[in-house]
Structure 1
Amino acid sequence: MARGGETALGRVGAMGRGARWGGDECARASIGSAAVPICATARASDQENEMPEDPFEIVSIFMDDFSSTKRNIIGHVSGWLMSDSREDKIDDFVQEMEMTRFWPLERREVIAEVLLKNVDLKTKYHCPEKYENEERLADHKAQCSFRPVTCPNDGCRAKVSVRCMQDHDSACLFKILTCEQNCEKRLLRRDMDRHCVTVCPMRPMKCPFGCDSSFPERNLEQHCSEFLQAHLHKLLKAIHKKGFTDEGLKDHALLLEKHDNDGKLAKSRDIKVRNTSIYR
């Protein structure tokens, strides 16, 4: 960590010079290229021993230091951007920064790389290997578990280290999967929930005629056909609340089923449709 009046970023930069990919050491990182603007005054030397080993916590401390020293300007900019009249300007502001290369991606990657190498004390997120010649370095790069690879799933632009690819693949929204409800349809992970709830023929449903059965949606017609008499009995019981015995309603339901020559009652999946068919 930095001492005296030296800035945290200055210390990080000094320690990280010559550490870029292609130098005399392997500098691949596994947490992406998120840029972290660091320009905070270093903590006092008596607090250095209290610094955590987790790189995320270290960066968090840097950010706290930075924001505390720049509170006035951050508050002013935040208030300007988040006001109702300026809300629609945020995207334009970001796009302008990209177009004018105010802080280009390659610069962000360099800063993130240098920062990571100096806060990742246990080399959990970057490769610490060093080699004296380019040939050995090249051999190592070809098999380094921190080497960056692009996600193979069509549509995904994520770039992660080899060691993180399995975790990414298990959560990638562009991964093509077989339906979780076993309808055999293949679709993107990001579309799975909507498919299972709205259109999947295997989504569970309750009988629309009030019996206690539960079955996949694609079996609805079969269920309605198999339990036609039971459904008719329930409908007749609801229609004729008085004046009919339970046995009389069952006989009436059986009679309706026998006269259902064209199968309209058996095929109907809606209470209103079946109710109309009964009185025709």
Structure 2
Amino acid sequence: GCSKVLSRRYLPDHEDICRHKIISCPSGCGDSFPHHRKEVHLKDVCSFRDAKCPYHAMGCTVVVQARDVALHLRDNVESHLLLACDRLADHNYLMEQMAKRIAMLEHENADLRIQLEEEDSKLGKWISGANKKADGVSKKLDGLERRCNKE
């Protein structure tokens, strides 16, 4: 509860706004809690709150009170199993498609590596030839400079 010390005159006003005042659940579940915990209770704790079926992600659209989730699960085992099987089949199909795509990309990658190696080899040869030509030009230039310096 609240530890604030007040005169009786201000107590009613304070109780209206006090965060620590113990209140009962407005949904009627029977729980009591400090006023500042009301939102958390209504959203996450209250057994009367709406709750999606745990199989919602698999396609079950049922929304029940949280206290009735176990009953819903018990009464709908077969339909939930069918939803799970359908989802599993969808995932298996996607896995097969991804495996095919991966195999195709790996093959394409191998082809590109071969092309890259060929281009790298060609470029290496071209650079080697260009270096030889540059060496030849450099030697000719050195010879011309020597001749110019003699004259």
TM class by shorter-chain length?
Answer: 0.3 to 0.5
Which structure's CA Rg is the greater one?
2
**Which structure dedicates a bigger proportion of its chain to helix?**
2
* RCO higher in structure (CA 8 A, sep ≥6): 1
State the TM-score, normalizing by the size of structure 2.
Answer: 0.48
State the TM-score, normalizing by the size of structure 1.
Answer: 0.28
